[in-house]
Homo-oligomer: A and B are copies of this chain.
Amino acid sequence: MRVRDVGEFPLIARLGGIVGRRRVDVVVGIGDDAAALDLGGEELLLLTVDSQVEGVHFVLDRIPPRLLGRRLLAVNASDIAAMGGEPTHALVSLVLPPELELDWLEELYRGLGEEGDRLGAAVVGGNVARSGDGVVLDLTLAGRVPQGELLTRAGARPGDAVLVTGTLGGAAAGLWLREHPEADVPYRDALLTRHLAPTPRVREGRAIAASRLATAMIDLSDGLGSDVLHVCDQSGVGVRVYVENLPLTPGVPHVANLSGRAPWELALYGGEDFELLFTAPPSAADALRERLAALGTAVTPVGEVLPPSEGRWLVLPDGRPVPLEGRGFTHF
């Protein structure tokens, strides 16, 4: 059997089962947005790693290296945000072809530095190795979250509301616009920015966690339609998501129209919006909405958590329920 026959998420579960050692200081291990470790202080240490692979995540000539550097840090910060934490320290592992232009690499680091300054995170180390072929960038990000404020994918309870920050579908629409530069669409620049330079919801994640009102959280990297299923898996619950409630990024309906898809398909399966999805008792939804409104960020209820026996459903615009299936981006 080959890696592609297993699929990304079963593969992770399988490998996690092999490295069996448990340490008592591991609060959250393999299978969430970040690991959480209790090293004895008032805060938990968060650790996450993510890579950007040439030819898979980016094309060398098509993304300015400065934006790629920002993005490399941003996507990891989104994982820290999803645990309710703030990013603090980064390590960067570079696998590089020797003929790579130094200017390109220095611009990448300027982007890393800019995003680090914005987030309050410092690059404190890394590694450089020669590549056989192509650029591989790996960033490990440490963060912290106060004890008692950690949010994981587990913890959602039947009856909870499913809420999302901001708007969805913008990154997918921006990707489409890059591939269709001739398309005349409003909000073009904003959509391209959503695709190229995502903004991790760190302040929002902290506010949600500090409220102690939410029960589970995840960041939307693969697409809500896929990511909400991780919450269901880890929490042992079902879910109902209302397609009509999905908050669309301005311009998404236009791109959807031009590209022959329904707007909600972009919002549900496009991925890379890096918004936060979280669950909370319906009685807490107003308080959470107010807290995030103070940061200028909308919160939208998009569904509800069900008992596990009631399954996982998508309610289409015509009111028809269909089974919710993972169709977001996976690597295998």
Q: Given the complex, which residues of B lie within 8 Å of A154, measured CB to CB?
A: none
A107-152 interface with B by 8 A CB criterion: 109-110, 112-113, 116-117, 120-134, 136, 138, 140, 142, 144
Whether A299 sits at the interface, judged by CB under 8 Å, is no
Decide if A102 is an interface residue (CB 8 Å cutoff): yes
A52's nearest neighbour on chain B, judged by CB, is B129
Please name all residues of chain B whose beta carbon is closer than 8 Å to the beta carbon of A12 when the two chains form the complex.
126, 128
Flag if A89 contacts B140 (CB, 8 Å): no
Query: Smallest CB–CB gap between A23 and chain B, Å?
Result: 5
Shortest A52–chain B CB gap in Å is: 8
Q: Tell me whether A49 and B99 are in contact in the complex, defined as CB-CB below 8 angstroms, given that A35-B124, A122-B29, A133-B132 are known contacts.
A: no
Residue numbers in B under 8 Å from A331 (CB-CB):
128-130
Contacts of A91 in B (CB 8 A): 35, 47-49, 140
Partner of A142, one of B21, B22, B47, B55: B47
- Copies of this chain, how many? 2
Distance between A30 CB and nearest chain B CB, rounded to angstroms: 5
The listed residue (B25, B99, B127, B332) touching A51 by CB distance below 8 A is: B127
> Are A51 and B89 in touch, CB under 8 angstroms?
no
A105 at interface by CB-CB < 8 Å: yes
Q: Is A93 an interface residue (CB 8 A)?
A: yes
Please tell me if A20 contacts chain B, counting CB pairs below 8 Å. yes
Beta-carbon contact of A50 and B127 below 8 Å:
yes
B15 and A53 contact, CB distance less than 8 A: no
The answer, yes or no, to whether A1 is at the interface (CB within 8 Å) is yes
